[in-house]
């Protein structure tokens, strides 16, 4: 599997499975030594033992479960190990028609908590990472005392590692062809079915339901979390949604496609599918990023400098146009045009935005292998993440499995094409701002997004945050929703600089103790150095608050920063006007049911 651009939990699994447990623990201990103490902030709950054996689960009929009739395939006792501090009962199975899941039920020490992790990319596999980047140092999760589970969203993807004409597993969409039920499960039903099944297994194994249920996901996994809060508000008490691709239909068409097409110089002769030579090349990225940081970095200093909010940065790439011969330290006029177009994001023939903006300024190192390659390497399915994720979606997934014969090479940036490729976007989008059913039972939603995200624009998260506050009112919204916007963080904590933080402990304290989320320390690691001490630690606070250097100590250390109100010159509207903003209203989401062999979809009030 190509690991260069795997959003969400799929990418979590690739990196974390490859990383040794010793490396993870070394990084954790290094952070613990430098940062504020990490504690198990949550309610003290009694330990509940199993009431049946693990193998007994094989003999229980679960086919009558409402919303998720399922069968258990395997139920095996697993001893404790380096990755599993407590022994557990490992259960695999599937919910009708084909939502596969895996559940780890602690054999000892269960503290009545359950955590479901989402899947990323186009899903299609069950990944159970032993650690999570956004739960870095969460003792409740890492100790093995929680029931954990994950799912594949209702289909199996290809096992291909990808090539010039074959997408890799993370972006395989062929499964959707003439398979509308699988598309609907991917859109919103799959995670609900897996959750219902897991809760039934918990009740059978321990003789009682979980006291607290949590969801954790990033990228498409983040979208699944928002879908659940909006459509199935009783499934979870707390939802941790990172780098949410909440407008996924628009992201996997126009957002990714624009990046490729704007940087395409010419088609490489004889290539099928077409490969493009890049206009802006990887060799120019270091100078470009350095210029952006010189102009706009306002947090920290020197090597520790970061852009607090890219909306305050107005750097124009034309300032870097070569005054003499072309060289790596400057841009050609065409390259400067491409850069400005990437920052702007896709627009139609009238200039209307087709997504909530484009690449945030400061994210330039993350463009390499997304929409930028070295001069001698063409953009294709194997070398460009943006090419990859705009390949199968428009053809197989945009129309509920009916093929359109459209892909990244051929779709047009017009209003007609937008309406065509987003006909079913309200099936996938997680834009409903009405969180009242979720909030009324004490539900808490913690969202986070990196300001340097190149895989899912951070402006979508701000639009949703704004929509919830407009609809519910600021006071009511603040009781159920908190957002963190993190400087220098790329998609799902990956990218040129690996990052880690512990949002899960904040969410658990909010749900169980009523303590509203506050300061969270972010650890920034040197490339490929997750097994060493963090190069930089920096606090982040609930939006719109920011971190401010207190004038004392090292600017690379979190202790040197305090919470501050946003400067007046960094107060911006959180609402970004774009064509899909019309979906950010209650009652717009589509609900689909298969009746007599036909899939019918309509809007309705959430359950």
Give the per-residue pLDDT at 286: 97
Please report, for residues 235, 271, 279, 503, 531, the alpha-carbon distance to residue 259 in angstroms, rounded to integers and kept in the order given: 37, 20, 11, 31, 33
The structure's pTM equals: 0.93
Task: Read off the pLDDT band of 41 (50, 70, 90).
Answer: low
Give the per-residue pLDDT at 160: 78
Q: Is the pLDDT of residue 404 over 90?
A: yes
Query: How much is the average pLDDT of 438-442?
Result: 97
Which residue from 259, 265, 260, 264 is spatially nearest to 342, judged by alpha carbons?
Answer: 259
Give the per-residue pLDDT at 33: 37
Kindly report the three-state secondary structure assignment for every residue of 112-171.
Answer: CEEEEECCCCCCCCCCCCCCCCCECCCHHHHCCCCEEEEECCCCCCCCCCCECCECCHHH
Q: CA-CA distance, 466 to 48, in Å (whole number)?
A: 41
Q: CA-CA distance, 196 to 212, in Å (whole number)?
A: 14
Task: Read off the pLDDT band of 39 (50, 70, 90).
Answer: very low
Q: What region, left, alpha or beta, does residue 298 occupy, with left being phi > 0 and alpha being psi -120 to 50 degrees?
A: alpha
Q: Which of 82-86, 161-165, 211-215, 379-383 has the highest mean pLDDT?
A: 211-215
Length of the chain (residues) = 607
Structure tokens at 237: 């008490």
Could you read off the pLDDT of 99-146 as tens digits, one per residue?
999 999 999 999 999 999 999 999 999 999 888 999 999 999 999 999
Q: Strand 113-117's sheet: what is its strand order?
A: 70-78, 88-95, 99-106, 147-151, 113-117, 212-218, 238-242, 444-450, 481-486
Query: Is 370 strand, coil or helix?
Result: coil
Q: CA-CA distance, 7 to 26, in Å (whole number)?
A: 25
Give the per-residue pLDDT at 607: 53
Query: How much is the average pLDDT of 502-507?
Result: 98
Give the per-residue pLDDT at 526: 85
Give the per-residue pLDDT at 2: 31
Q: Is the pLDDT of residue 188 over 60?
A: yes
Task: Read off the pLDDT band of 606 (50, 70, 90).
Answer: low
Cβ neighbors of 459 (< 8 A, separation 6 or more) are 356, 357, 360, 576
Give the per-residue pLDDT at 20: 35
Structure tokens at 10: 């799929």
In sequence order, what DSSP letters do the residues of 8-32 get, joined into one string? HHHHHHHHHHHS-HHHHHHHHHHHH
Give the per-residue pLDDT at 390: 96
Enclosing H/E stretch for 222: helix 220-231
Q: Is the pLDDT of residue 149 over 60?
A: yes
Q: CA-CA distance, 458 to 447, in Å (whole number)?
A: 11
Q: Is the pLDDT of residue 304 over 90?
A: no
Which residue from 253, 250, 245, 271 is spatially nearest to 408, judged by alpha carbons?
Answer: 253
Structure tokens at 143: 């100790």
Task: Read off the pLDDT band of 219 (50, 70, 90).
Answer: very high
For residue 432, report the phi and psi dihedrals to the nearest 5 degrees: -65, 115
Q: Is the pLDDT of residue 456 over 80?
A: yes
Give the per-residue pLDDT at 31: 39
Structure tokens at 223: 């979208």
Please compute Rg for the chain using Cα positions.
23
Give the per-residue pLDDT at 581: 95
Could you read off the pLDDT of 245-284 as tens digits, one per residue?
999 999 999 999 999 999 999 999 988 888 999 999 999 9
Of the chain, the percentage scoring pLDDT greater than 90 comes to 83
Q: What region, left, alpha or beta, does residue 67 occupy, with left being phi > 0 and alpha being psi -120 to 50 degrees?
A: left
Structure-derived torsion over alpha carbons of residues 275, 277, 282, 284, reported in degrees to the nearest 10: -160
Residue with tokens 């859109």: 187
| Side-chain-facing half-sphere of 406: CA atoms under 13 Å | 19
Query: How much is the average pLDDT of 11-18?
Result: 35
Q: Which of 12-21, 472-481, 507-516 has the lowest mean pLDDT?
A: 12-21
CB contact at 8 A, 180 and 155: no
End-to-end CA distance of the chain: 38
For residue 229, report the phi and psi dihedrals to the nearest 5 degrees: -60, -35
Q: Is the pLDDT of residue 480 over 50?
A: yes
Q: Is the pLDDT of residue 10 over 70?
A: no
User: Do the strands 147-151 and 113-117 form a parallel or antiparallel pair, or are they unpaired?
Assistant: parallel
Structure tokens at 558: 């979190």
CB contact at 8 A, 133 and 524: no
Q: Domain boundaries in the chain?
A: 8-250+427-546
Please report, for residues 261, 374, 404, the alpha-carbon distance to residue 266 in angstroms, rounded to integers and kept in the order given: 10, 15, 25
Cβ neighbors of 564 (< 8 A, separation 6 or more) are 545, 546, 547, 548
Give the per-residue pLDDT at 4: 31
Q: What is the mean pLDDT of the chain?
A: 91
Query: How much is the average pLDDT of 185-211?
Result: 98
Q: Which of 6-10, 23-27, 355-359, 539-543 has the lowest mean pLDDT?
A: 6-10
Q: Is the pLDDT of residue 37 over 60?
A: no
Task: Read off the pLDDT band of 326 (50, 70, 90).
Answer: very high
CB contact at 8 A, 264 and 279: yes
DSSP letter, residue 254 = I
Q: Which of 332-341, 522-531, 549-558 has the lowest mean pLDDT?
A: 522-531
Q: CA-CA distance, 561 to 540, in Å (whole number)?
A: 9
Q: Is the pLDDT of residue 21 over 70?
A: no
At the fourth CATH level, the homologous superfamily of domain 8-250+427-546 is Alpha/Beta hydrolase fold, catalytic domain (3.40.50.1820)
For residue 481, report the phi and psi dihedrals to the nearest 5 degrees: -135, 130
Residue 298 or 175, more confident: 175
Query: How much is the average pLDDT of 26-32?
Result: 40
Give the per-residue pLDDT at 597: 79
Q: Is the pLDDT of residue 9 over 70?
A: no
Q: What region, left, alpha or beta, does residue 444 occupy, with left being phi > 0 and alpha being psi -120 to 50 degrees?
A: beta
Give the per-residue pLDDT at 489: 97
């Amino acid at each position: 599997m190509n690991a260069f651009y795997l959003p969400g939990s799929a990418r979590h699994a690739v990196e974390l499975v490859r990383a040794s447990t010793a490396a993870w623990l070394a990084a954790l201990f290094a952070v613990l030594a430098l940062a504020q103490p990490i504690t198990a902030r949550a309610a003290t709950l009694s330990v509940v033992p199993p009431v049946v054996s693990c193998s007994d689960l094989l003999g229980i009929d679960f086919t009558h479960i409402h919303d998720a009739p399922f069968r258990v395939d395997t139920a095996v006792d697993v001893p404790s190990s380096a990755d599993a501090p407590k022994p557990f009962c490992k259960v695999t199975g599937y919910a009708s028609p084909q939502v596969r899941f895996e559940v780890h039920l602690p054999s000892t020490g269960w503290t009545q908590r359950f955590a479901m992790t989402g899947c990323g990319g186009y899903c299609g596999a069950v990944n159970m990472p032993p650690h999570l980047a956004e739960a870095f140092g969460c003792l409740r999760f890492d100790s093995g005392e929680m029931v954990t589970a994950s799912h594949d969203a209702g289909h199996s993807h290809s096992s291909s590692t990808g090539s010039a004409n074959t997408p890799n597993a993370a972006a395989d969409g062929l499964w959707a062809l003439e398979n509308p039920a699988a598309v609907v499960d991917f859109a919103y039903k799959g995670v609900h079915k897996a959750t219902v099944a897991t809760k039934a297994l918990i009740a059978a194994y321990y003789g009682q339901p979980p006291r607290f249920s949590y969801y954790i996901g990033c990228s498409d996994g983040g979208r699944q979390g928002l879908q659940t809060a909006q459509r199935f508000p009783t499934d979870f008490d707390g939802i941790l949604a990172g780098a949410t691709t909440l407008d996924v239909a628009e992201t996997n068409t126009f957002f990714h496609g624009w990046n490729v097409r704007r940087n395409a110089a010419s088609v490489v002769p004889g290539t099928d599918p077409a490969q493009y030579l890049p206009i802006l090349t990887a060799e120019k990225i270091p100078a470009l990023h350095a210029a952006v940081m010189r102009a706009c970095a306002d947090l920290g200093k020197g090597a520790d400098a970061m852009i607090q909010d890219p909306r305050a940065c107005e750097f124009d790439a034309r300032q870097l146009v070569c005054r003499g011969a072309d060289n790596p330290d400057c841009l050609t006029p065409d390259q400067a045009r491409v850069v400005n177009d990437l920052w702007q994001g896709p627009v139609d023939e009238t200039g209307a935005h087709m997504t909530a903006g484009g690449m945030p300024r400061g994210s330039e190192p993350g463009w390499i292998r997304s929409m930028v390659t070295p001069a001698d390497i063409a953009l294709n399915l194997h070398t460009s993440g943006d090419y990859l994720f705009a390949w199968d979606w428009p053809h197989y997934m945009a129309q509920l499995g009916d093929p359109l014969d459209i892909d990244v090479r051929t779709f047009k940036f017009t209003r007609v094409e937008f309406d065509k490729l987003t006909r079913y976007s309200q099936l996938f989008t997680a834009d409903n701002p009405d969180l009242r059913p979720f909030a009324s039972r004490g539900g808490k939603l913690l969202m986070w997004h990196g300001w340097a995200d190149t895989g899912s624009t951070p402006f979508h998260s701000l639009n949703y945050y704004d929509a919830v506050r407009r609809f519910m009112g600021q006071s009511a919204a603040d009781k159920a929703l908190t957002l963190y916007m993190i400087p220098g963080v790329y998609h799902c904590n990956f990218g040129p600089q690996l990052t880690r933080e512990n949002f899960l402990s904040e969410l658990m304290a909010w749900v169980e103790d009523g303590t509203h989320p506050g300061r969270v320390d972010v650890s920034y690691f040197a490339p490929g150095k997750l097994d060493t001490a963090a190069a930089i630690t920096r606090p982040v606070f609930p939006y719109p608050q920011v971190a401010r250097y207190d004038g004392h100590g090292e600017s690379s250390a979190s202790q040197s920063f305090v919470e501050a109100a946003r400067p007046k010159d960094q107060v911006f509207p959180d609402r970004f006007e774009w064509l899909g903003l019309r979906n950010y209203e209650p009652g717009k989401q589509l609900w689909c049911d298969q009746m007599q062999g036909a899939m019918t979809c309509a809007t309705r009030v959430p359950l």
